[in-house]
A and B are shown apart, each in its own frame.
Chain A
Amino acid sequence: MPNRRSFRVHILVFLAPAVLVYTTFMIYPLVDSLWLSLINKGATGGPHFVGTENYQALFSQEKWAKPFWNALRNNALFFVMHMVVQNPVGLFLAALLGTRIRGAWIYRTIIFTPTILSVVIIGFVWKLILNPAWGISRSILQMIGLGNLDMPWLGLEQTALITLSLISVWQNIGIPMMLFLAALIRIPEELLEAARVDGAGTWRIFWRIQFPLILPTVGIVSVLTFVGNFNAFELIYATQGALAGPNFASDILGTLFFRTFFGYQLQPADPYMGSTVAGIMLVIILVGVLAYLFGWQRRLQEIRY
């Protein structure tokens, strides 16, 4: 390095804008929110430090705990639906595209299209399709002989969350598909050719050679799904409103956070409890990310070397 001699101002000039904007508008608000989650208004009025009391209230005080555990349970189901439907189907589509099938890029472009659209728009489009008043879902179900499945999917407590999960899967499936496809394409063709010469079929090649080689991508897709799902909000808000109906059946942490912090109808806005919900979401997401970094990734590295 030629300029070792003195303090190098240009490094600071290069770094300062990004570090400043990032610190002011991302790190500081995050830290401020965490700080607010340790504060609350006491009986006497002024906001003061309460330690972990807000968190305790969220976990066990009837008024907060009931919606919180409901939202957490719903959010977990929302995530599980993505893991068992979105990612396997995405992998399946990627495997089909990865066979160097003709016209793969046309399919790829089409299947990725919903992913680039706003969740609000997607939510409303599906709301219209599933609306009995327009009757699109009814005509389609009758067309394929499943007319008895016709019901207001988004309006029933038992089906609303599952339906919303599937809408989200439909929209986001492009991401796992792209990531799996990129990983599959990187596998050297000679490897697959050698297996084919040895008489291995497509199925066997996939599970014995391709799948083990894309395990790192399986981890990335899972952690991205986890972070995205525990941070979701828009789809529920756009289709079911902030009350995440019917009767909170589709309430997840994101919508609970919004209602708690912003207030809704009879519920007054509460920045302290709102920050507490956000604090829990942050802990959940960090646990997921750390589990991925130290559990999954490290183990894979041990296998490789």
Chain B
Amino acid sequence: MKSEIAQIWTHLLKSFSPKISATSGRTLQVLAAHTALTAYSLVALFPVLLVIVNSFKDRLSIFAAPFALPSATTFSLDGYKTLYTTARFDLFFLNSFLVTAGSLILILFVSSTAAFALAEYKFRLNSLTGLYLAIGIMVPIRLGTVGLLRLMVDLHLVNTLWSLILVYTAQGIPLAVFVLSAFMRQLPKDLTDAARIDGASEYHIYWLILPLVRPALGSVLAISMIPIWNDLWFPLILAPGESTKTLVLGAQAFLGEFVNDYGAVLAALTLAILPPVFLYLIFSRQLIRGITAGAVK
């Protein structure tokens, strides 16, 4: 974080220092590019900022001066107070956290062992197993919803967080196995062979390999995390109960109910926006690597 702030500063300082450019045509092009990118950045950020800024204002100034920043007289936390007294957002947040963390742990664990088996051993069904697991990269799990709901009813898992965790794990496995096994295949074979000569068991070798693919694990974590946190479909269908609502479903229900209370709506939106943005700032590097790694092959 600190180094990124330093980078922003050096960037700003550099762009303000006068420089003599080689060709004015090139400078003009660069200037046009900066203008276009700045304009689009504003388009991208404006709606989000508008919501966050207005969530801290009183009702009157939300309508009278929506583009103004909150001042000492217009600052208000009324929206957040309504939120606090009418909906269990702390519980929804905890649910989202448990579901996301639980799914991610399971995805990383079961996918890394499977990827290790596919990358390390030659056996008859190797490529067929890889292909079977890869079907799920392109086929959305959502299309099996009718079957999933029946299954969850049979297993008595409806309205439990486990139903969500299991579905998200199944959904995350295909891409995770694909990315991780591609990474593990690039590791030199001598490494595992040397460990074997030293008498390490196959399970021990897996543990030795795991730290070597840490960047890939980070990418898988980053690309799997956001769709799970943001999902509405499965919470709506598998776990709509008051005690199992995730943050997104809770926000959706709250927004529908309080449509006309702008302060409360803006506060709910802000609370739902901040966690993913926070995670994004932490994991942006892994995320970008993950998106490109998943799509390159």
Contacts and interface: CB of A to CB of B under 8 A. Distances in A.
B113 A278 contact: no
Interface in B81-116: 106, 109-111, 113-114, 116
Contact of A286 (B51, B139, B269): B139
Contact of A234 (B151, B206, B233): B233
A125 B270 CA distance: 10
B276 A118 contact: yes
Contact of B11 (A106, A114, A278): A106
B148 A107 contact: no
Contacts of B262: 128, 134
B51 to A, nearest CB: 5
B139 A117 contact: no
Contacts, number: 261
B157 to A, nearest CB: 10
Contact of A36 (B34, B147, B226): B147
Interface residues of B, number: 94
A231 interface: yes
A202 B32 CA distance: 13
A196 to B, nearest CB: 10
A121 B147 contact: no
A93 B45 CA distance: 15
Contact of A22 (B41, B50, B133, B295): B133
A173 to B, nearest CB: 8
Interface in A211-267: 217, 220, 223-224, 227, 231, 233-234, 237-238, 254, 257, 261-262
B215 interface: no
Contact of B295 (A14, A121, A170, A224): A224
A110 B45 contact: yes
**Interface size for chain A: under 10, 10 to 19, 20 to 34, or 35 or more residues?**
35 or more
Contacts of B143: 30, 33, 231, 278-279, 281-282, 285
A101 B30 contact: yes
Given A202-B29, A237-B232, A14 B206 contact: yes
Contacts of A27: 135-136
B147 A31 contact: yes
B218 to A, nearest CB: 16
Kindly name the residue among B118, B143, B166, B295 whose own CB sees the greatest number of chain A CB atoms within 10 A. B143
Contacts of A124: 255, 265, 269
